[in-house]
Structure 1
Amino acid sequence: MNPVGYPTENVALQGYPGQPGHPGHSGHPGGPMVQYTSVNITSEVPRDHVIWSIFNFLHWNPCCLGLVALVYSIKARDRKMAGDMSGARNYGSTARCLNIWATVLLGLIALLFIIGMAIQVNHVVYRKKF
């Protein structure tokens, strides 16, 4: 009897890897061969960030980062069309990094311009007359 109290019976498992005639049978009585299953995982298509690169190229293009990002984006798109996903992922990652730096520099330049204009307006409006 098993712990629950119900009677048990032994049933031979069909297709057990340790049985003779099964593809996983090792041929010796010591035990079955280890079987492995491979799973192909399709990853997402690498991004090339072309639109972001065009935006950075057309808007002030600080330190030519927008141009370099656009070149890497086009290389990533070419690699993707050729079927080289690892190369496309590499070029796309570089384009993304360059776009981040170009966007940050563009934002800092715009912020400094706004602060400079505010200081100039403040100086003109509140100028003391002697």
Structure 2
Amino acid sequence: MSCSSQPFFTGPRSGVLPTYERLKEEHEVAVLGAPQTSGAVTSTVVNIRSETVVPDHVVWSLFNTLFFNPCCLGFVAFAYSVKSRDRKMVGDVIGAQSYASTAKCLNVWALVLGIVVTIALIILTATLAH
């Protein structure tokens, strides 16, 4: 019997081991004593594939479409976000990541240009009002 226990799940909470396994092993060692044979201990490894989370940036794209839409960048970002969501639903993770990356880049540009245009309009209005 192995003295070290390994977590069954690999994920963000895998560092916390259940206490009942450790107590059970300690009890068996105390009752039965040390292992008498020095045979090889076999173990089974279970790999659980976690789903890759691909952000599709739909909400950000919709915000940019409604409020910051210079040169229709927000609308194009929204189209790529919807394509990314469609690819994710089909199961094409690589295609979804590609469309999401393009949507993110377009959203950054739309937001930056929208803020710059808004600040320029505020400065222009303030200087012309005097």
Instruction: Please state which band the TM-score falls in when normalised by the shorter chain.
Output: 0.5 to 0.7
Using the alignment, how far apart are the partners of 1:103 and 1:78 within structure 2? Answer: 24
Q: Taking structure 1 as the reference length, what is the TM-score of the superposition?
A: 0.63
Rounded to whole Å, the distance in 1 between the matches of 2:83 and 2:99 is 7
Equivalent residue runs for 1:23-42 within 5 Å: 39=47, 41-42=49-50
- 2:125 matches 1:117: yes
Which residue type is aligned with residue 14 of structure 1?
Answer: G
Look at both structures and tell me which one has the larger radius of gyration over its CA atoms.
1
* Corresponding residue number in structure 2 for 1:95: 103
The aligned amino acid for 2:105 is: C
Structure 1 gaps, min length 5: 1-10, 18-36, 125-130
The structure where helix makes up a greater share of residues is 2
- CA offsets per residue over residues 37-58 of structure 1, 9 Å max, x none? 7955525410111111111112
Please list every run of 5 or more consecutive structure 2 residues that lacks an aligned counterpart in the other structure.
Answer: 1-35
What are the equivalent positions in structure 2 for 1:2-21 lying under 5 Å apart?
A: 13-15=38-40
For normalisation by structure 2, the TM-score amounts to: 0.63
Which runs of structure 1 show a deviation greater than 4 angstroms over 4 or more consecutive aligned residues? 37-41
Give percent identity, aligned residues only.
46
Change (3 A) 1:105 1:80: same
- Aligned counterpart, 1:32: none
Aligned residues: CA RMSD = 2.6
Residues 91-127 of structure 1 show CA distances to partners (whole Å, capped at 9, x for unaligned) of: 1111011000000000000010111112112xx3xxx
Higher relative contact order (Cα pairs below 8 Å, separated by 6+ residues): 2
Separation of aligned partners in 1, 2:105 and 2:92: 20
Q: How far, CA to CA, are the matches of 2:105 and 2:57 in structure 1?
A: 10
- 2:81·2:100 contact (CA, 8 Å) conserved in 1? yes
